[in-house]
Amino acid sequence: MKYKRPRGTQDIVPPAVHIWREVEEAFKRTFEKHCYEQIRTPIFESTELFERAVGEQTDIISKEMYTFTDRGGRSLTLRPENTASVIRAYLESGMHRRGGIVRLYYIGPMFRYDRPQAGRYRQFHQVGLEAIGGASPAIDVEVIETFMITLEELGFRGLMLKLNSVGCRTCRGPYRKLLLKALDGVREVLCSDCEDRAFKNPLRVFDCKRCEGVKEKLPTILANLCKDCRAHYDAVKAALEALGRSFEEDPYLVRGLDYYTRTAFEVIHGDLGAQNALCGGGRYDDLVEQCGGPPTPAIGYSAGLERIISVLPKDSPVLREAGVPPDIYVACVDEGGMSRALKIASLLRSVAAVEADFSMRSLKTQLRSAEKSGAKIAAIVDSSSRDEILWKNLAERKQVGVPDGDILDFAKRTLAASKEDGA
């Protein structure tokens, strides 16, 4: 094989692509029921947008970007996530002047130069949404619910929702000092990575899998929230409880992107291996302002389609969708009937899905293929019977001759009849 797909990418081929489409549709249905509208932003953006929005210290920016220089000398980057682009587009198209909450969703490929692993790809696909301009804890819950509801519709049960608050500008400052002090006290027992983190992004020490014993000795942001953040967090919890939505409070849940404030959440799944997050998100109340807009609170999340699809429950309704079989399979027996078969297939397509076989294989083989395709009818075209075709009902194993001129009417009648039988 001369060419292979680039490392960390995937071809989504039938029949898997049908599952993908069903999952995407499920999300779209939920989003649109909640009055979120789709937004499509460019696959690449100026590198600076990501650096500024996502945070220069993050791994995504410091080592995982697909960055290139275009012919005009501009530094561009394949989007590693979509929130920055959405906020850029929100401001650039003047949506911030609409007033009220702007609800947007997206779906599409993202790119990160990581080493591929279970549930991790260089080109991967996310669905996500952003609710921009809403400060109420109720919006947080609305956003979380769109994900939980959709996954339940896909057949998931008993998902683990993890919840935390990472505070805001007011509480982060004092907390940071507190944390740094505590980190200083445990410096000797920190792993080498965490020694670095302690400087660059102290909160991320909580993410470390090796420093398990250390965490208990450190103050959590959750225990040091300012009054407003505390009230917001408590209100989110109360609203989730009122909806009967179970969750687990995780004071160690911190997220890898710098722009998060207050509510942070993740939904994890046990069968995913090390990359166990199906979805991650939270509030980013300062990002719009940081990007040059007016102060605007916002919240969003993104979910990994590969990961969701890889752990779909066995009884998921979408696993039943294997594509639409043809209604009619046109079998062409000899070269002489070819152009007539083409014409008949084309005619039939005005009322049905038609698969045409021009392989000139034996009729036996063509009928075998017809049956395998799931078609109800095989239309056999043979140049020796010049003005009629054989119309074979594959389930009943019966066939009749139909004059060319009557084919369309005949097709309409039999297909309508078989639909009634089927229903």
Partner RNA sequence: GUGGGCGUAGCUCAGCCUGGUAGAGCCCUGGAUUGUGGUUCCAGUUGUCACGGGUUCAAAUCCCGUCGUCCACCCCA
Task: Write out the residues near RNA by the rule CB under 7 A.
Answer: 4-5, 7-8, 58-60, 64, 81, 112, 114-121, 124, 126, 193, 197, 204, 207-210, 255-257, 266, 273-280, 302-304, 306-307, 333-334, 361-365, 367-372, 380, 382-384, 390, 392, 394-399
Shortest Cβ 399–RNA spacing (Å): 6
**Are the C-beta atoms of 7 and 116 separated by less than 8 Å?**
yes
Residue type present at position 305: L
Q: What share of the chain is helix, strand, coil (3-state, %, to 5)?
A: 45, 20, 35
Tell me how far the alpha carbon of residue 391 is from its chain's centroid: 44
Question: Quick one: which of 408, 354, 360 has its CA closest to 383?
Answer: 360
d(CA 247, CA 197): 28
What are the residues whose beta carbons fall under 8 Å from the beta carbon of 302, sequence distance 6 or more? 81, 82, 83, 126, 127, 128, 279, 280, 281
Strand order in the sheet with 328-332: 354-357, 328-332, 377-381, 388-393, 398-403
Pick 133 or 304: Cβ nearer RNA? 304
Q: Which is nearer to RNA, 278 or 298 (CB)?
A: 278
Report in angstroms how near the CB of residue 273 gets to RNA at its nearest: 3
Nearer to RNA, 226 or 352 (CB): 352
Smallest gap from residue 380 Cβ to RNA (A)? 6
Residue 207, exposed/middle/buried by CB under 10 A (0-12, 13-18, 19+)? middle
Residue 83 or 316: the one with the smaller Cβ distance to RNA is 83
Instruction: Pick the closer one to RNA by CB: 82 or 296.
Output: 82
Least Å distance between CB 299 and RNA?
A: 14
d(CA 64, CA 276): 19
175 or 284: CB nearest RNA: 284
* CB 6 to RNA: min, Å: 7
The residues with which 389 forms a beta bridge, in sequence order, are 402
Nearer to RNA, 172 or 392 (CB): 392
Whole-number Å distance between alpha carbons of 192 and 77: 30
Rounded CA separation 261/172 (Å): 9
Identity of the residue, 241 or 371, whose beta carbon is nearer to RNA in the bound complex: 371
Q: How far is the CB of 71 from RNA (least distance, A)?
A: 26
Write down the least CB distance from residue 34 to RNA, Å: 20
Taking the CB of residue 110, how many other CB atoms lie within 10 A of it?
20
**Which residue, among 256, 307, 277, has the nearest Cα to 10 in the 3D structure?**
307
Minimum separation from the CB atom of position 15 to RNA (A): 14
